[in-house]
Amino acid sequence: MLIEISGVSHTYAGRAQPVVRDLDVRLSEHRVGVIGANGSGKSTFARMLNGLVVPSEGTVSVDGLDTARQGREIRKRVGFCFTDPDSQIVMPTVAEDVAFGLRRRGLSKAEVAARVDATLRARGLDGHADHPAHLLSGGQKQLLALSSILVTEPDLLVMDEPTTLLDLRNTRRVADVVVGLPQQVVLVTHDLDLLVGFDRVLVFDETRLVHDGPPAAAIKHYRELMA
């Protein structure tokens, strides 16, 4: 899918200064990374990709759909994974949470059950289908949050620091899921190891996109900024 960002700046309500400025970028690569210092505007950028944030100036379109006017359509195609899986898990049990994403799709009970089963199996959560979601480990919760997004078969997955709260082993598990996804991915991360094999990495600094290129050069640029 083509993401087109034209003349975008964003100022949150009640704030005097923009937190994203003068952004013009087109993204169509399979794997796009986003890095930068705390507060540089990465999450705001990520949230603009599925209309969670609508820019105060300029336009964001995904697959030709404008996030300001066609947010609902866009959110059917663009999944969003938050840092904290607790902010995403809405139902009491694992299977119910995954099924929740399929509501109002006009699927039969049997179709929903089959898709939930297949999704949980693919993430290694099939043994936990009827467990209370809040009793899962942090890593399992993030895999559940991912399952609940992936069951809806989005074309693009936007992830905002999905491994920041996880230990190394669970970071690896989530990273392995990302590597194997057929979908296009935009990944915001402070875990620079996750960007190996990415097609393109954007570096944000103090509200602006300051570097755009292959991972090695982007990471070098980011390290120099932080030094």
Ligand X SMILES: Nc1ncnc2c1ncn2[C@@H]1O[C@H](COP(=O)(O)OP(=O)(O)OP(=O)(O)O)[C@@H](O)[C@H]1O
- Which chain residues interact with ligand X by CB under 6 A? 12, 15, 19, 36, 38-44
User: Quick one: which of 147, 92, 87, 154 has its CA closest to 117?
Assistant: 147
Report in angstroms how near the CB of residue 38 gets to Mg ion at its nearest: 7
Query: Which of ligand X, Mg ion, none does residue 127 bind to, with CB < 5 to 8 Å depending on kind?
Result: none
Largest CA distance in the chain: 56
Query: Which of ligand X, Mg ion, none does residue 7 bind to, with CB < 5 to 8 Å depending on kind?
Result: none
Report in angstroms how near the CB of residue 103 gets to ligand X at its nearest: 27
* Nearer of residues 82 and 198 to ligand X, judged by Cβ: 82
* Nearer of residues 11 and 70 to ligand X, judged by Cβ: 11
- Of residues 10 through 69, those in contact with Mg ion by CB under 5 A are 43
Query: Which of Mg ion, ligand X, none does residue 19 bind to, with CB < 5 to 8 Å depending on kind?
Result: ligand X
> How many Å apart are CA 170 and CA 207, to the nearest integer?
31
Query: Which of Mg ion, ligand X, none does residue 56 bind to, with CB < 5 to 8 Å depending on kind?
Result: none
Report in angstroms how near the CB of residue 103 gets to Mg ion at its nearest: 29
* Nearer of residues 131 and 190 to ligand X, judged by Cβ: 190
* Nearer of residues 178 and 209 to ligand X, judged by Cβ: 209
Q: How far is CA 214 from the centre of its chain?
A: 20
Report in angstroms how near the CB of residue 39 gets to Mg ion at its nearest: 8
How big is the site for Mg ion, counted in residues (CB under 5 A)?
1
User: Quick one: which of 222, 83, 47 has its CA closest to 164?
Assistant: 83
* Nearer of residues 54 and 122 to ligand X, judged by Cβ: 54
> How many Å apart are CA 173 and CA 152, to the nearest integer?
21
Here the tokens at position 202 are 């954007």
Query: Which of ligand X, Mg ion, none does residue 39 bind to, with CB < 5 to 8 Å depending on kind?
Result: ligand X
The residues that touch Mg ion, with contacts defined as CB under 5 A, are 43
